[in-house]
Each structure stands twice: as C-alpha cells, then as structure tokens.
Amino acid sequence: MSDFPITITPEALDRVKRLADKDGREGIFLRVGVKGGGCSGLEYVIKLDTEPNKLDQDKDFEGLKVVCDRKSAQYLEGSVLTFTSNLIWGGFKFENPNAARSCGCGTIFTPKKTA
C-alpha cells in the first residue's frame, strides 16, 4: 500500500476547498472511506468532518487535509477522486481499480477481493 490510498483531481480538489471554505468550521477536513451496504456491497463515504479518529491516516493536498481510516484504505488503494459538473451524472466520483462492479449511481461497488 502506498503512503495514502487515493489521489484527487484538480477539479475535485478545487470543489472540496470551496465547500470547506463555505462551511467555515474550524479544523475542517475531507473524510473519504467506505461503509457496508447498498446494492453492490460497499458504499463510498465522502464528507467534510472535524473529528479525526486515532486509526486515521491523513495527507495534505495543497492545503486541504484529507483523511481515510485504515480499513477503508485497503478498498480505496489506487483510487482517484474526480469531480464533474455534468448535469446528469455530475458530482464526486471514485475511479476505483479495486471495484469488480459498480451500481449505476457510482456510489456503491463490489470489491474485487475481500479484505
């Protein structure tokens, strides 16, 4: 596993920074991860947060702190967080090489292997 499981496109980074600035909370960062559930097995988690956990790993992306828990990291390794303003399927998306398949909405996936 690399030092941090994901990379972020410039468009996604810009969008998250704008959302964090608008939110205005002290110590805000981006949390990425996965949780069980959904039609295909695991659901992506992406949210602004202010409460780090002791098992989190983090990385600074041009002034934005991004955090991922260790369990989620194994499912997100090598993923890219993207953002598009496309009217129909726009928003944040993960391009995940560990996904065997994804649902139509792109927020839920089945991992290639069980971690």
Is 14 among the domain residues? yes
Is 104 among the domain residues? yes
**Structural domain boundaries enclosing 39:** 6-111
Q: Which two tokens stand for residue 28?
A: 């805000």
Is 45 among the domain residues? yes
Q: Give the pLDDT confidence of 18-59 residue by residue, as tens digits.
A: 999 999 999 999 999 999 876 668 888 999 999 999 999 999
pTM: 0.84
Is 81 among the domain residues? yes
Is 44 among the domain residues? yes
Q: Which long-range contacts does 14-23 make (Cβ < 8 Å, 24+ apart)? A: 14/83, 15/83, 15/92, 16/48, 16/64, 16/83, 17/62, 17/63, 17/64, 19/48, 20/48, 20/64, 23/48
Question: Residue 16 in contact with residue 64, Cβ under 8 Å?
Answer: yes
Q: Return the pLDDT at 39.
A: 63
- CATH no. for residue 50? 2.60.300.12
Q: Where are the beta strands (DSSP E) in the chain?
A: 6-8, 29-36, 42-49, 56-61, 64-69, 79-84, 91-95, 99-102, 108-111
Domain count, the chain: 1
Is 106 among the domain residues? yes
Q: Return the pLDDT at 1.
A: 47
Is 1 among the domain residues? no
Is 78 among the domain residues? yes
